[in-house]
Amino acid sequence: MGAPDLSPTTEERNPRMHLSEATGSTSLDPADWQAFRTQAHSMLDDMLGHIETIRERPVWQQTPDDIRATFNTPLPTEGTSLETIQHEFMTSIVPYTAANIHPGFMGWVQGGGSPAGFLAEILAAGLNANVGGRNQVPLDVERLVTGWMRDLFGFPASASGICLTGTSMANFVAVVIARYARLGANVRRTGLNTDQPRVTAYASRAVHGSLARALDMAGLGSESLRSIAIDAHGRIDLLDLQRRIAEDRAAGLSPFLVAGTAGTVDTGAIDDLDALANICAQEALWFHVDGALGALAMLSPTLAPRLRGIERADSLAFDFHKWGQVPYEAGFLLVRDGDLHRQAFESPCAYLSREEQGLAAGSLWPCDLGPELSRSFRGLKVWMTFKTYGTRKLASVIEHTCDLAQYLAQRIAEIPELELLAPVELNIVCLRYRFQADNDLSNRLNRALVVRLQLAGAVAPSTTTLNGKVAIRAAIVNHRTTHKEIDTLIEETLALGRELQPITPAARERFLLNQRLQSLDQQLSTKNLPEHDEVELLVERAMLLTQTGRTLEARSDHLRVLALNPKHKTNLLELGRLLVAAGQRNAARVVYTEAVKHYPDDLPSRVNLGSALLQTGEAAAAREQYEYVLSIDPNLPQAHGGMYYALGLLGEHAEAEVHRRKGFSQKNLFETPYRGKDDPISLILLVSSSGGNTPVEKLLDDQIFRTHVLVADFYDPTQPLPPHDLIFNGIGDVDTSTEALRAAESLVRGDSRVLNQPTAVLATSRRDNARRLATLEGVRTARTEIYPHSLLAGGEALAALERDGFRFPLLLRTPGFHMGQHFIKVDSPEHLHDQVTELPGAGREGSELLVIESLDARGHDGCSRKYRVMMIDGELYPLHLAISPNWKIHYFSADMKDRPDHREEEARFLTNMEETLGKRAMTGLHGVRDALGLDYCGIDFGLDPEGNVLLFEANANMVVEQPDEDPRWDYRRTAVARIHAAVRQMLTRIPVAV
C-alpha cells in the first residue's frame, strides 16, 4: 500500500463554506468566496477611481426627485445581489454626497480623508472589533495613539485619552469630568440637587455650539454657560472673562469651567490659552480647550507657538477628521488627570468584571473613560494615517492650507468688490461681496450668492454671520485643495456677485462706458480704417479703459498710438499720467519730455514734466520747467506748487515760501477720478502743503473711493467741506506740518467721521513721544530735544548738551527728513561742529536740529535690529525686521537680501510676533498703541537685553511698501497683504455722522 493522503479535504480547508452549502446554514458568508472577492475588488476599484478622479466631478449637485424616491421603499424581505447594490450605490449615492473629499469643498471645516484612511476603514470593518474593552490588541493601538497625543501636546505620562466620534462628544465627556471634579462622586449617584451651588461655565461668544449642548446633556443647563466678549481678532476678552467670574462669585454662584478655543468655528481665531490657564489657576477652575479645528497645528513647528498654553489644559478635545485628514468619524479627548477621568465614568457592572488572564483581562478599558460600551475600532485609522504619512507630511498639509488662506486674503485685499470680514488667523477666510445695498439686502444677496456657488459645483463654501454681516466662509482643510480652487472661488464669486448686484447710478454710468467701449471695439475692427481715425479711436478707448480701471489694456492702446503717431499730444499726456500712477517715474519723464519737445508752449506738458523730474530727484531741471510756465502764465497754481517743492529741495526756502502761498492759496482742493462701477465711498484726504504727509494714496482704491484731496493749511475754514462719508487725516509729520495740523484740527472739529484725529497726531513729535511714553511699562525712549542749528554749531553747544543730560555718542536729525536722510551719529565732542555744519539749514535763520540719545539695539551677534509694527484700527501688525551691522538701520540698505539667516529671523517675527518679541515687549507696544490713540500709524523699535522696547519713533507717517518681485521676499507678502486688508476694512467701515 502506498502512503496515506494526509492533505486536508475541501471541507477541512473551509469548513464554514462546507457547512453552509451542506446544511443550508444561516451564515451570512458567501457561498462562493472567489465570486465575492471579485465583486469586492470591483467595489474597491470603483471607490479608488472615484477618489482619483474627484476633480473631474462637481463638489455638490442637487439630488433629483427620482433618485430620492428610490430611498422611500419598504424594508426588503429578500436579498439583492451585490452587483445590483454596487450599481445603485455608484449611481444613486456617490454623486449626491456633500463630497468633502473634493478639493473645492470649503464648507463647515471638514477634512478630505485620505486613501490610507479609506483602507484602514476596510480593515477595521473586516475585524469588526468592539473596542469598548477586553484583552485585545486594538486597545493597544488606541493606547498608543493616546501616548502619541500626550507627547505631542506636552501632557504628563499620567494623562488619559479616548477616541470618540468627534469634538462635540469630547466636549460632553470633558464637561462630565469637570462636573465630577467640582461636585464630587455623589453627583453620579444622586444627580444635581438644590443643596449644591449652581455652577457656571465660561467661553467666548465664538465658541462652538456643542459646549452649550454638553452642559445641557450633563444636567447643568445651557444657561449655565456665560458668553464672553471677543476682541477684534475673535479671541476671548480676558478682562470681560475675569469680570464675569467675579460677578458670579459675588452672586453666590460657583464658577467651575473655562473653555478656551484653539481655532474658532467662524474665523479660526485662537484664544490666549496661556493667559486662560493663568486665570483658571488663580480661580481654581477647570481649563478645557476646544481644539476641534486648530489643535493639530501643534504638528507644525511654524504654527505650534500660537498654541502656547495648550499644554496646561485640564482637558483637550480635538478632531483627527479635520486637519488630520482621517476619515470620519475620529475625535479625541485628552485629560490631564487620568484617575479623575476614570472615576467620572467607570461603572462596576458584573458583566464587565475584569480577570487576571483571558479575554476579560487588560484593564483599563475605554468603556471606563466614556459613555460608550460598543465602540468601533476608530484608533486604527488614526494609527494608520500617522504611520503612513508621518507628522512631517501632515504638518506640511496644515501649513499649506494656512498659506492658501493667506493667499485668498491677499486676493481679497486686491479686489475692490470683495471685503474681508475678519483677520485670517489659520485656515478660515470670511469674505463678502460688496453689494451696493443696505446690510439686510446685502446679507440676503450674499446668502443667495453662496447657494449659487454650491449649485454651480466648482467650489462649495458655507456662510456664517459676523457682527451682523453674512460672510462667505471658506474653510480650507482639504489636502487636495490648491491655488486653482482658491482662484476659482474668487472668479466665481465675482461673476455671481456682478450678476446679483443691484443697479446703482454708478453702475448705470459704468454700463454706458462699457457700451461706448463696445462701440469703439466694433469701429476699430473695421477693415482698411484710416490711420488718423484709428489713432483717435485708440486714444479715446485708452482713456475710457483707464476710467474703468483696466489700466494694462489702456497702456497697450497708448503704446499702439505712440507707434502710429509719436507726436499725439493727448496720447502723450494720458500715457504719462498712467505711468506715474503705476509708479514708473522714469518712463513718465521720458514721455513728458517728448510732449515738451513737440509742444514747447503747452503748459500742462511742462508742468507734468516738472512733476516727473521732481519725482526722479532732478529739482534743478524741474525748476526750469516751472519757470518757463510761469513766464507765460504767472498765476498758474500748479506751477507755483511745483516751484515750491523744487526750490525747497534746492535749499532756497524763502523763495519757496512765496510760491507755496501763491500756489495753494489759489487751488487747495483736488478731486481724484473715480473708476468704480458702484456708488463710491466719498472720502476727504487732508494733506499739508509743506509735506510730511502719510503716503496713503495707494490704499485709497479709486474703484471704491471718490477722494477729495484737501490742503488743510490753505483751505478757507468758512467754506463747507465737500460732501463726504469719511475724513482721513493724512498729515503725519508734526515736525514739518504743525501749521497744517492746527488748521485740520479746526476743519474737522465736531465731525465724528475722522481717522487719525489731528489732535492725536499733534502729540506725536519725537520730543513729545520721548517724554510721554517714557513711563510706560516695557518701553525705553531716547532723550530728545530741539536746538537751534546755530547753537549746536557754536561754542556753547557742549555745555547746553551736558546741561540737558546728553552723553556722546548722540544722534542728530534734520526735522522733516525720513528714510535715514540727514540723520547722523556724532561719536565724540570734537566732531560735533563739523558734522552739524554738514546738515541742511546751516547758517539759515530759524533752522533747528533734533538731538537724540543713542539707544543700543545690537543683538548677541553685534547686529542692530529695527522692528516695524503697524497699528491699524487698534490692532498691531508686524511689517518688517531690518538687521544690519550699521547703527543706522534702513530696511532697503540692510543686507537682508543676501542673508538667508536674517530673512529667516524676519519670517519668524512676521509669523509669530508675540513669540518673537516676548511678553514684556508686547506689553510695551500695547501701551504705546493706547497712548497714541491713532487709527493708522507705525512704530519703529529695537529690543534691549531685558526685552524692553527701545522706541525709535512712533507716528502716522510710515509707509507700507510692497516687496519687489524677487522670490526671496515671498515670505513678506502675506504680512503686507494683511495690513492692506486691515486698512481697507477700516476705511470701508463707515461710521455714522453725529
Q: What is the number of alpha carbons within 13 Å of residue 199 lying toward its C-beta?
A: 26
Claim to verify: residue 607 and residue 460 sit in the same structural domain: no
pLDDT at 14: 40
- DSSP strands (E only) in 373-481: 418-420, 428-433, 460-466, 469-475
**What stretch of H or E contains 883?**
strand 875-884
Residue 700 has pLDDT above 50, yes or no: yes
Nearest Cα to Cα of residue 574 among 524, 540, 606? 540
List, edge to edge, every strand of the sheet that includes 681-687: 669-671, 705-711, 681-687, 726-729, 754-755
- Give, in degrees to the nearest 5, the angle at Cα 294 between 293 and 300: 140
**pLDDT greater at residue 517 or residue 676:** 517
Q: What percent of the chain has pLDDT over 70?
A: 95
Average pLDDT over residues 833-848: 81
Query: Which of 665, 690, 716 corresponds to the end of one domain?
Result: 665
- Give, in degrees to the nearest 5, the angle at Cα 960 between 958 and 962: 155
Query: Which of 622, 643, 665 corresponds to the end of one domain?
Result: 665
DSSP 91: I
What are the angstrom distances between the C-alpha of 389 and each of 50, 142, 383, 384?
A: 21, 18, 10, 8
Residue 671 has pLDDT above 80, yes or no: yes
Q: What angle do the packed helices 653-666 and 637-649 form, to 10 degrees?
A: 160
Distance in angstroms (rounded) separating the CA atoms of residues 303 and 301: 6
Nearest Cα to Cα of residue 180 among 195, 171, 168, 192? 192
CATH of the domain at 749: 3.40.50
What are the angstrom distances between the C-alpha of 573 and each of 507, 604, 625, 835, 993?
A: 28, 8, 16, 44, 40
Q: Which three cell numbers stand for residue 74?
A: 419598504
Domain enclosing residue 677, as ranges: 669-763
pTM of the model: 0.62
Distance in angstroms (rounded) separating the CA atoms of residues 866 and 884: 9
Q: How confident is the model at residue 486 (pLDDT cuts 50, 70, 90)?
A: very high
pLDDT digits (tens, 9 = 90+) for 495-530: 999 899 887 677 777 777 888 999 999 999 988 899
| Dihedrals phi, psi of 836, to nearest 5 degrees | -65, -45
Cβ atoms 463, 470 nearer than 8 A: yes
Buried b / exposed e over 819-834, threshold 16 CB at 10 Å, is eeebbbbbeeeeebee
Claim to verify: residue 489 and residue 428 sit in the same structural domain: yes
Number of structural domains (the chain) is: 5
Query: Which of 642, 665, 688 corresponds to the end of one domain?
Result: 665
Q: How confident is the model at residue 898 (pLDDT cuts 50, 70, 90)?
A: confident
CATH of the domain at 484: 3.90.1150.170
Claim to verify: residue 529 and residue 608 sit in the same structural domain: yes
Prior bond of 991 cis (ω within 30°): no
pLDDT at 697: 77
Q: How much is the CA Rg of the chain, to the nearest whole Å? A: 35
Residue 17 has pLDDT above 80, yes or no: no
Residue 804 lies in a domain: no
Claim to verify: residue 183 and residue 330 sit in the same structural domain: yes
Report the SS3 class of residue 685: strand
pLDDT digits (tens, 9 = 90+) for 933-971: 999 999 999 999 999 999 999 999 888 888 888 888 888
Cβ atoms 685, 700 nearer than 8 A: yes
Nearest Cα to Cα of residue 693 among 986, 904, 958? 958
pLDDT at 12: 41
Q: What percent of the chain has pLDDT over 90?
A: 72
pLDDT digits (tens, 9 = 90+) for 823-832: 888 899 898 9
Residue 843 lies in a domain: no
Residue 679 has pLDDT above 80, yes or no: no
Cβ atoms 10, 18 nearer than 8 A: yes
pLDDT at 893: 62
DSSP 686: E
Residue 130 has pLDDT above 80, yes or no: yes
| Dihedrals phi, psi of 566, to nearest 5 degrees | -65, -10
Residue 52 lies in a domain: no
Claim to verify: residue 599 and residue 740 sit in the same structural domain: no
pLDDT at 193: 80
Residue 366 lies in a domain: no
Residue 266 has pLDDT above 90, yes or no: yes
Report the SS3 class of residue 461: strand
pLDDT at 13: 39
Other residues' Cβ atoms within 10 Å of the Cβ of residue 68: 11
